[in-house]
Structure 1
Amino acid sequence: MKGNSSFIIQETNVKGLDTLTVDCGQDLELPYIHLFNPGEVSSKATGSSKVAGSLNVERSNQLSGNHSSGQHHSGHQIDWVIRGQVTFLVDQKTVQLSAGEMLWSHMGERPRLIAGDSAASILRISMPLFYALELRLCKGFELELLLGTIFRLSVSDQSDIQKLQRQMADLMGDDPALREIAAEEFRLYLRRLSQYGETPPEISRARSTSGRACHHVYRMLSYINENYRDDLTIDKIANHLGLHRNFTMSLFKRVMGMSLLECITGLRIRYAEKLLINTNEDVTSIAFDSGFSSLTRFYEVFGKHFGESPQRYRNRMWMQSR
């Protein structure tokens, strides 16, 4: 087991395959990354041991055509072709991708892998909402994803692909400093990918919800992300948008698949987790700095997400990072 302030990495071997899986935790999750061989597409989804709130790596040789493990209704998904050629089904249309191309989706039906040559490898990245908001992606890009757009992007520079492969190797390495650097580089690279310029290369604009509703929800998300550490209430969110309280709650739930309270609490617990791992602040200070109204509430929520107390979680993460 290898770890740092953001990642816990576990490596096992599967003979004959150069594949990598990075999976996330149980309730509060970081991105999972799955690098796999499309020639091994199976109806059986890849299994992985999960560590709450952390990034977990193991090797595997199987992935279902529409890998359901770790998918989130309100999370981002990136399917990035590293080598070879593959075919996805998007809105009942086939889309062929070559090395360096990717599909980035958020809401609605996910692209489904249906074919790939034996030499192909794909990097699949899932970002739950709480993590994606930390990346500070291009606002126009985020909004289009929320509206249902699926982007087809291309990394034509071979050096970028090589950098990505190097980052994956560093994340699985023994050097804590290199693992931390690789993690930060990877986050920044995802942010750079969202800066698509004036003409976004979209391939689908399926609308499961009205554009007006999505615009309202995007404003809610932006406001929550800026204020969740304060005394944020549903009434304040509704007043900020000029909407009725009940309508605000039901609209967010319908579009995002989670309640406003779940979103606020998830961001707070994610922030608290980072402070526990990366600082020496005492638990009480962390609880209030993260936006919780009481220490009792913080312990209750943290225990629900991680299955242990904040101090025990901190000690375990510190031990794993040595």
Structure 2
Amino acid sequence: MQHQEFLVDPDHTTPARDSFNVGSINRVRLMRSAHVHSHVEINLIIEGQMTYLFNGRTVTLKRSDLGMFWAAIPHRVIEVEPGTRFICSDLPIEMCLAMPGCEALKTALLQGGLLVADKVHAYEQALFESWHGDLVERRETMLTVVRDELAARLRRFEIDGWRDLASDDEERRAREADPDAAEPHRDKVHRMARYIAEHATAPIAVADIAASVGLHPNYAMTLFRRTLGMTINEYVTRQRLMLAHGRLLASDGDIAAIAFEAGFGSLSRFYEAFRERYGCTPRDMRRSFRETRAAAAV
């Protein structure tokens, strides 16, 4: 496999928040740093296999896997088998949550799962390629058709069942199968990321995070940034934004309460970070989501 030291993808772009895209077949590339965007990302692996660092866990998608996750959770492709190709689709989280049914699937996504379908059908590649061609035309009628067909595919995903590769059980199985897979320095960074994910709603400092893996804070910060391409504090903020984003769309809760429950110490800091990440206020995002959901119900 290719490792992060030998290949990076400087051209990996973040899709616009409201963009709906089904990609063509592309070669999978390693990512320079952890990546977040406001979509449900759906990956159909055509050839080979790829490994994500996903919220502090390493998870691998293999040939014919159909995987999906909420991309507001920090993720990074860290290993790629040569020749790996996939179809990557980006579905705005608002559009996903507005689709009828699939409530258990939506909950699993918002809770941070990386879900892989138990059943993948022979027609999947042709179906995704058809959606790609339809969306390239950018006709409103076809966008509606693709959205409805994708909603039906997600309902089948829920009915057929899935495995959550980001669950404790799956991680334990992976470690038992290959106990020497994690490099020592990378394993410490993964454990720090896990610690952040598990404690983001509480007041945590860099010293706490470093102590969780027995490192000096200065070395922990250097190691973390070198491995993930962002600082520890940036990662903490992204975790808290992910939690707030999910609660904002999934509930009618008070925005200030949501900010504090997600771990932000001040409302002004929450609004600043939210606007910087999503380009709008929390209130505007909630209103946009409700309008999208109402339109989908017509």
Amino acid at match of 2:112: E
Q: Distance in 1 between matches of 2:215 and 2:160?
A: 38
Whether 1:80 and 2:45 are equivalent positions in the alignment is: yes
Q: Distance in 2 between matches of 1:132 and 1:216?
A: 26
Q: Distance in 2 between matches of 1:172 and 1:186?
A: 21
Whether 1:57 and 2:16 are equivalent positions in the alignment is: no
User: What is the match of residue 38 of structure 1?
Assistant: none
Percent of matched pairs sharing the same residue: 20
Q: Quick one: structure 1 residues 281 and 178, their matched pair in 2 at CA, closer, same or farther if it must change by over 3 Å? A: farther
User: What is the match of residue 39 of structure 1?
Assistant: none
Q: Quick one: structure 1 residues 57 and 225, their matched pair in 2 at CA, closer, same or farther if it must change by over 3 Å? A: same
Map 1:115-264; keep pairs closer than 5 Å.
Answer: 122-124=86-88, 134-135=112-113, 160-162=119-121, 165=124, 172-174=146-148, 181=155, 188-191=162-165, 194=170, 200=177, 211-264=183-236
TM-score (structure 2 length as normaliser) = 0.56
TM-score (structure 1 length as normaliser) = 0.53
Could you tell me which runs of 5 or more consecutive residues in structure 1 were left unpaired when the two chains were aligned: 1-44, 90-97, 115-120, 138-152
For residues 48-97 of structure 1, give each alpha carbon's deviation from its aligned partner in whole angstroms, at most 9, with x where no partner exists: x9442x6x433555x554568xx56346996612xxxx5799xxxxxxxx
Q: Distance in 2 between matches of 1:279 and 1:239?
A: 35
Could you tell me which runs of 5 or more consecutive residues in structure 2 were left unpaired when the two chains were aligned: 1-10, 36-40, 51-61, 68-74, 91-108, 132-144
Whether 1:275 and 2:247 are equivalent positions in the alignment is: yes
Give yes or no for contact 2:119–2:161 (8 Å, CA) kept in 1.
no
For residues 171-227 of structure 1, give each alpha carbon's deviation from its aligned partner in whole angstroms, at most 9, with x where no partner exists: 95449986875676799435389576687499xx7xxxx822122112211211110
Whether 1:300 and 2:269 are equivalent positions in the alignment is: no
Q: Distance in 2 between matches of 1:212 and 1:285?
A: 39
Q: Distance in 2 between matches of 1:173 and 1:271?
A: 26
Q: Distance in 2 between matches of 1:250 and 1:187?
A: 41
User: What is the match of residue 258 of structure 2?
Assistant: 286
Secondary structure of the equivalent of 1:302? helix
Map 1:13-24; keep pairs closer than 5 Å.
Answer: none
Secondary structure of the equivalent of 1:241? coil
User: What is the match of residue 33 of structure 1?
Assistant: none
Secondary structure of the equivalent of 1:160? coil
Corresponding residue to 1:100 among 50, 64, 76 = 64
Corresponding residue pairs, total? 225
Q: Distance in 1 between matches of 2:77 and 2:23?
A: 27
Give yes or no for contact 1:173–1:179 (8 Å, CA) kept in 2.
no
State the superposition RMSD in angstroms: 5.0
Secondary structure of the equivalent of 1:275? helix
For residues 126-154 of structure 1, give each alpha carbon's deviation from its aligned partner in whole angstroms, at most 9, with x where no partner exists: 9xxxx8992278xxxxxxxxxxxxxxx9x
Give yes or no for contact 1:269–1:302 (8 Å, CA) kept in 2.
yes
Secondary structure of the equivalent of 1:215? helix
Give yes or no for contact 1:46–1:60 (8 Å, CA) kept in 2.
no
Q: Distance in 2 between matches of 1:72 and 1:232?
A: 26
Amino acid at match of 1:231: P
